[in-house]
Amino acid sequence: MVMLLLKQPATPKLPITNLPQAVEVDREQASVDDIVTAIQSSTKLAPSRLKLFLASSKTVLVPNSPLKVYDMHDGTRVLVKDIGPQINRRTLLLTAYTGPVFIHILCYYFQTLVYGTSFQHTASQVLAFTLITLHFAKRIFETLFVHVFYRITASFYSVYMYLFHYWLLSGVFMAYYIYYPSCATSESSQASIDSSSSGASSPSVAIARGVCSSSISLLSSSIDTEETSLYFLSALWIFAELSNFETHLILANLHIRFPRPSYASSSFAPSHSRLLAAASPSASSSPTSSRPSSPRPSSPFRLNNAAASTLISRRIPKGYGFDWVSCPNYFFELIAWTAITLITRSFASLLFLVATGMQMWRRAVRKHELYKKEFGVHYPKYRKVLIPYIK
Q: What is the pLDDT of residues 279-290, one digit of tens each?
A: 333 333 333 333
Q: What is the pLDDT of residue 207?
A: 39
CA angle 170, 123, 142 (to 5 degrees): 40
What CA–CA distance (Å, rounded) separates 7 from 81? 9
Query: Residue 339: helix, strand or coil by DSSP?
Result: helix
Query: Looking at the structure, do residues 78 and 95 belong to the same domain, yes or no?
Result: no
Q: Are residues 226 and 177 part of one domain?
A: yes
CA distance from start to end of the chain: 50
- Number of structural domains in the chain: 2
Is 186 a member of any domain?
yes
8 Å CB contact between 140 and 94: yes
Q: Choose the final residue of a domain: 84, 110, 136.
A: 84
pLDDT confidence of residue 330: 98
Q: Are residues 107 and 235 part of one domain?
A: yes
Whether 302 is in a domain gets the answer no
77 and 159 in a single domain? The answer is no
Interior angle at CA 93, CA 91 and CA 95, nearest 5:
70
Chain center to CA of 355? 15
CA triple 183-187-190, angle to 5 deg: 60
Indicate whether 114 belongs to any domain: yes
Strands (E) across the chain are located at 2-7, 22-25, 50-54, 60-61, 77-82, 86-88, 153-155
Segments in the chain forming alpha helices (H): 32-43, 89-109, 111-115, 123-145, 158-162, 174-178, 187-196, 203-209, 227-257, 272-279, 305-315, 328-344, 347-375
The enclosing domain of 59 has a CATH number of: 3.10.20.90
Asked if 65 and 262 touch (Cβ cutoff 8 Å), the reply is: yes
Do residues 173 and 189 both lie within one domain? yes
Of the candidates 25, 50, 84, which is a domain's last residue?
Answer: 84
Provide Rg for the chain, Cα atoms. Answer: 27
The answer to the question of residue 239 being in a domain is yes
117-144 pLDDT tens trace: 999 999 999 999 999 999 999 999 999 9
Residues of the chain with pLDDT under 50: 183-216, 219-224, 261-303
Residues in CB range of 91: below 8 A, 6 or more apart: none
- Asked if residue 225 is part of any domain, the answer here is yes
For 61-110, write each residue's pLDDT tens digit: 888 888 888 888 899 999 999 999 999 999 999 999 999 999 999 999 99
- Tell whether 280 is covered by a domain: no
Query: Which of 66, 84, 102 is the C-terminal boundary of a domain?
Result: 84
Are residues 133 and 247 located together in one domain of the fold?
yes
Residue 191 belongs to some domain of the structure: yes
How far apart (Å, rounded) are the C-alpha atoms in residues 172 and 178?
10
φ/ψ (deg, to 5) at 268: -100, -65
Q: Are residues 76 and 96 in the same domain?
A: no
Angle at which helices 123-145 and 328-344 pack, to 10 degrees?
160
The model carries a pTM of: 0.78
**Residues 99, 245 within the same domain:** yes
The pLDDT score that the predictor gives to residue 259 is 66
Residue span of the structural domain in which 331 resides: 88-252+325-378
313-330 pLDDT, tens digit per residue, is 678 999 999 999 999 999
